[in-house]
Amino acid sequence: MTAKHPDLVLGFEDEVWWSREAQPHMHAWSDDKPLRLVEKTVPAKDPEGKAIACYGLYVPMAHHMLLRFVRGRPVSVVTCAFLAWLATYFTAQGKRALVLIWDNASWHVSQAVQEWITAHNRRAKQEGGCRLMICRLPSKSPWLNPMEPKWVHGKRAVVEPARVLSMSDLMQRVCTYYECELTDPIAQPDC
């Protein structure tokens, strides 16, 4: 589809939590000692928190990831901010439409997000810009989203065996692994 229409882009979207203390399941071969992951805990009063949420878009044709971390949790308002950021990014790339494939998370199917997408597409059609064409994956089918294994591999790649990473170190490691720019996290507005 996108090969015949260079002004379109196809992307898979998903969210994930990056933990400063939880260790991913790993298997390793070793000639001498096996790799030991030390159980870690973040102090209860640590201002950085235990984890940070992250929105991601994978563009398979370009083997490219776009990430935005979130101060807070994925909710409709933050989803709209992420979509606006994607639309601005792809408008600057000269794309007319982003075919966005995602799951049925409550913050994807909310009335607020649907209304935002409709209003955005109306503006983009009138004023120019990248429209969003949403395609939903069937319920309970994470294996259909190629983002899922990318998250698993990323968590294994950025793991720190013995110490608790600072939040900035964790975010930098994630962006380095996925070869993407570290941008300011999206702030979750107080409701």
> Average pLDDT for consecutive 10-residue bins of the chain (191 residues)?
77 92 59 61 72 94 94 91 97 96 93 96 96 93 90 88 85 96 85 41
Q: Which CATH entry fits the domain spanning 8-25+37-182: 3.30.420.10, 3.40.50.2000, 1.10.3860.10, 3.40.50.10880?
A: 3.30.420.10
> How many residues in the chain?
191
Domain layout of the chain by residue ranges: 8-25+37-182
Q: What is the pLDDT of residue 191?
A: 41
Q: What is the pLDDT of residue 162?
A: 75
Is this model's pTM higher than 0.75 or not?
A: yes
Distances in whole angstroms, Cα of residue 115 to Cα of each of 53, 125, 174: 24, 15, 32
